[in-house]
C-alpha cells in the first residue's frame, strides 16, 4: 500500500480504503479521492483533549478512495516503518502518514517535551500496518541492546520502537562546547531491546537545554 518514489515522496495505492496523513501534505492524486480533516490527531475525544491541554500539535487528514495519492512535506526524507502489533513512538512533527490498520494516540514523555516547549506527550502508533515518518536528511536507524544502551541528543531524535526504557540525564552536548547552550544540557538514554531513529539535523528548538 505504501511505496516510496525517490526518497522524498510517498505514494499510497488505495482500493476503497483510507489513510491518515499530515494535513496539507497531499501533492497529487489520481482516481477518486475524498478528503476529511481530523481534529486533534489522536483517537477519539481523549486524544483531542490531551493534545489541546499539552499543546502537542498534529493535524491530520483522512484520505479515502480509489487510485493513488502522493504525499510529501518540505522535501523531507521519508522512511517506511512496518508494525506487527507493536508500538512506535514518534515526534508529531516527524509523522507523515499511517495506513488504516494503525491507531494513533499519545504517550507521556515528561522532561523532554516540557523542555522543548512541545507539550508533555509524544505521538504513539500501534497495530498492524505501515507508517511513514520524516527526517531532515537521511534517517539513521540505531540498534539498542542490553549490552549496548544508546544516548541521543533530543534535537536529533525522531522515533523509537521495541522494548525500550527512556530516561533523561544531564550531560554535555556539542552546543555546550560551541557556546550555544542556554542552560543545563541533557540527553535521552535508551535501554532494552529495540531501535531508535535519528536525523542528521537538529530541530530549531531549545531541545537539549533545560
Neighbours of 45 (CB within 10 A): 10
Residue 206 has a pLDDT of: 39
CB 50, CB 59: distance < 8 Å = no
pTM, to two decimals? 0.81
Widest pairwise Cα distance in the chain: 54
Residue 115 has a pLDDT of: 47
As given in the structure block, the three cell numbers for residue 77 are 526524507
What DSSP designation does 209 have? B
Handedness of CA 73, 132, 150, 56 (dihedral sign): positive
* Gap between the Cα atoms of 43 and 126, Å rounded: 12
Residue 138 has a pLDDT of: 93
Which whole-number Å values give the CA distances from 88 to 9, 40, 48, 204, in the listed order? Answer: 21, 18, 19, 23
* Gap between the Cα atoms of 135 and 199, Å rounded: 6
Per-residue pLDDT of the chain (210 residues; tens, 9 = 90+): 899 999 999 999 999 999 999 999 999 999 999 999 876 545 554 554 444 444 455 678 999 999 999 999 999 999 999 999 999 999 888 999 999 889 988 877 655 444 444 445 678 999 999 999 999 999 999 999 999 999 998 889 999 999 999 887 776 655 555 555 554 467 888 999 999 999 998 765 434 433
Which CATH class name applies to 2-198?
alpha beta
Residue 41 has a pLDDT of: 46
Amino acid at each position: 500500500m505504501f511505496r516510496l518514489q525517490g526518497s522524498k515522496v510517498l505514494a499510497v495505492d488505495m482500493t476503497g480504503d483510507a489513510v491518515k496523513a499530515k494535513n496539507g501534505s497531499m501533492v497529487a492524486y489520481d482516481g477518486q479521492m475524498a478528503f476529511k480533516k481530523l481534529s486533534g490527531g489522536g483517537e477519539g475525544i481523549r486524544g483531542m483533549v490531551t493534545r489541546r491541554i499539552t499543546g502537542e500539535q498534529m493535524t491530520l487528514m483522512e484520505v479515502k478512495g480509489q487510485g493513488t495519492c502522493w504525499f510529501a512535506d518540505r522535501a523531507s526524507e521519508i522512511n517506511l516503518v512496518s508494525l506487527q502489533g507493536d508500538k512506535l513512538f514518534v515526534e508529531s512533527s516527524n509523522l507523515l502518514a499511517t495506513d488504516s490498520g494503525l491507531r494513533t494516540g499519545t504517550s507521556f514523555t515528561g522532561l523532554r517535551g516540557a523542555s522543548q516547549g512541545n507539550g508533555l506527550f509524544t505521538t504513539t502508533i500501534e497495530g498492524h500496518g505501515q507508517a511513514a515518518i520524516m527526517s531532515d536528511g537521511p534517517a539513521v536507524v540505531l540498534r539498542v541492546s542490553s549490552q549496548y544502551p544508546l544516548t541521543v541528543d533530543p534535537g536529533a531524535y525522531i522515533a523509537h520502537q521495541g522494548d525500550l526504557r527512556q530516561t533523561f540525564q544531564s550531560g554535555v552536548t556539542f552546543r555546550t562546547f560551541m557556546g550555544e547552550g542556554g542552560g543545563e544540557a541533557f540527553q535521552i538514554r535508551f535501554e532494552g531491546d529495540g531501535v531508535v531513529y535519528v536525523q542528521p539535523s537538529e530541530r530549531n528548538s531549545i531541545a537539549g537545554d533545560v
